């Protein structure tokens, strides 16, 4: 049995269903992210694991024990909430050591744990400060240190890095992941930030309207989205509406505008109205002479972002976003005609969702 399991978990608020029949298994030592847009039910799910919200249906088990009815403080779970409240009248060290003191850990041992946790979040030396003397990002890290100091078996993090500036956030992703691996703490992270989820996770659960749309490694979530929602939520992609003409053993022939695209279907049933997806970075500007262009168009916008050029090209397939890595030579300017090339293996196809349907 997995370390943590959620079985048939639902949460209703009156007539509104926030979580619908959710199943999830998390292995010991795993780092799993719940990723999805605001309102999809990430916090609610985390709160049900922590015990602060009671599920309307279903069962939660931790290390083989049914904890569905267990009080939060009896679960041995560390939680860092979106709004992490520090005690304002207590120093950083006292805040981090609070839970340990409650547990009656001897002073010397406690001091060691506090120093260790503060070093992990890179706040060594700030032990004697008060929360009001810290930046938002530092306060957020104190909250993380406080949870880590308890060395919980399961750590739940709800958007814990949302207050950090971009550079510090990137560094914290790498460091927090290293800490998590070193301590072997099973961790569930709630985030709407896909880069954060991809950087840190063993697996990502992409959430959509109270259900899990896809549960897979970050690579598979990006390369093989299982639903239209997952396709467009994770990273940028071009979606082309088309109709399946024929399903061959390996690929589907899909009519998009006046062109026929050959898209690998990977054994999935695809028929009727579909979307064909292609990532901006999987397209390249065609060599004029080689004649490998699959479609022609005009550059509508061209933006330089340092490592890449982002182009918008108007083609007979529609408006396509194209990303070219910066090799040192700028691509043609706005207004120029270009050909676009790709490899059919980089195309993806999924049956189009009906207007009312769920992913
Ligand atoms: N106590 C509550 N009462 C009523 N609706 C709630 C309550 N808590 C959350 N919801 C609703 O449940 C949905 C999921 O909320 P939440 O889990 O906080 O989403 P997320 O963390 O993914 O942004 C939202 O539509 C939210 O408005
Ligand atoms: Mg939330």
**Predicted pLDDT at 2:** 96
- Residue 108: pLDDT above 90? yes
Domain end call among 228, 243, 268: 228
**Substitution candidate for ligand 1 out of 9, 41, 49, 158 with most atoms within 8 A of CB:** 41
What would the mean pLDDT of 100-126 be, rounded to a whole number?
Answer: 93
Looking at the fold, whether 22 and 121 belong to one and the same domain comes out as: yes
Residue 271, in any domain of the structure? no
- Name the band, by pLDDT with cuts 50, 70 and 90, for residue 335: very high
- Residue 355: pLDDT above 70? no
Average of per-residue pLDDT values in the chain = 93
| Alpha carbon distance 193, 21 (integer Å) | 24
Residue 32, in any domain of the structure? yes
Looking at the fold, whether 128 and 218 belong to one and the same domain comes out as: yes
**Substitution candidate for ligand 1 out of 13, 54, 208 with most atoms within 8 A of CB:** 13
Least confident of 4-13, 156-165, 236-245, 319-328: 156-165
Residue 355, in any domain of the structure? no
Domain that holds residue 29: 4-228
Q: Phi and psi for 106 in degrees, rounded to 5?
A: -55, 150
Distances (CA, A) of 276 to 162, 252, 282, 346: 33, 10, 13, 10
CA max distance for the chain: 76
Least confident of 47-61, 220-234, 284-298: 284-298
pLDDT in tens, 297-317: 999 999 999 999 999 999 999
pLDDT in tens, 9-46: 999 999 999 999 999 999 999 999 999 999 999 999 99
Count the neighbouring beta carbons within 10 Å of the beta carbon of residue 351: 17
Residue 172's CATH number: 3.40.50.300
Number of domains making up the chain: 2
Looking at the fold, whether 92 and 199 belong to one and the same domain comes out as: yes
pLDDT in tens, 265-294: 988 889 999 999 999 999 999 976 667 899
Looking at the fold, whether 308 and 216 belong to one and the same domain comes out as: no
């Amino acid at each position: 049995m997995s370390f943590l399991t959620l079985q048939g978990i639902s949460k209703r608020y009156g007539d509104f269903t926030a979580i619908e029949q959710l199943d999830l298994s998390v292995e010991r030592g795993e780092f799993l992210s719940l990723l999805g847009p605001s309102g999809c039910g990430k916090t609610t799910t985390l709160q049900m694991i922590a015990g602060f919200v009671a599920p309307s249906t279903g069962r939660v088990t931790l290390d083989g024990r049914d904890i569905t009815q267990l009080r939060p403080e009896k679960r041995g779970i560390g939680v860092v909430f979106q709004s992490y409240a520090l005690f304002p009248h207590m120093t950083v060290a006292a805040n981090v050591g609070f839970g340990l003191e409650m547990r009656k850990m001897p002073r010397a041992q406690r001091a060691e744990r506090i120093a260790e946790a503060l070093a992990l979040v890179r706040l060594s030396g700030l032990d004697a400060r008060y929360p009001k003397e810290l930046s938002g990002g530092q306060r957020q890290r104190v909250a993380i240190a406080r949870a880590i100091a308890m060395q919980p078996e399961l750590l739940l993090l709800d958007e814990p890095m949302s207050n950090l500036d971009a550079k510090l956030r990137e560094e914290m992703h790498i460091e927090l992941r290293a800490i998590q691996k070193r301590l072997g703490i099973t961790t569930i992270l709630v985030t709407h930030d896909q880069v954060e989820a991809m950087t840190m996770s063993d697996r990502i659960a992409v959430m959509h309207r109270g259900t899990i749309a896809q549960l897979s490694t970050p690579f598979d979530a990006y390369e093989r989205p299982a639903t239209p929602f997952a396709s467009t939520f994770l990273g940028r992609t071009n979606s082309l509406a088309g109709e399946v003409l024929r399903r061959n053993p390996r690929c589907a022939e899909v009519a998009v505008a006046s062109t026929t695209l050959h898209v690998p279907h990977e054994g999935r049933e695809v028929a009727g109205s579909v979307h064909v997806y292609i990532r901006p970075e999987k397209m390249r500007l065609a060599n004029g002479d080689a004649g490998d262009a699959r479609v022609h168009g005009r550059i509508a916008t061209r933006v330089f972002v340092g490592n890449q050029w982002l182009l918008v090209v108007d083609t007979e397939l529609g408006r396509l976003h194209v990303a070219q890595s910066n090799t040192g030579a700028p691509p043609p300017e706005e207004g120029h005609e270009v050909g676009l090339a790709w490899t059919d293996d980089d195309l993806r196809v999924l049956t189009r969702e009906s207007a009312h349907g769920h992913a």
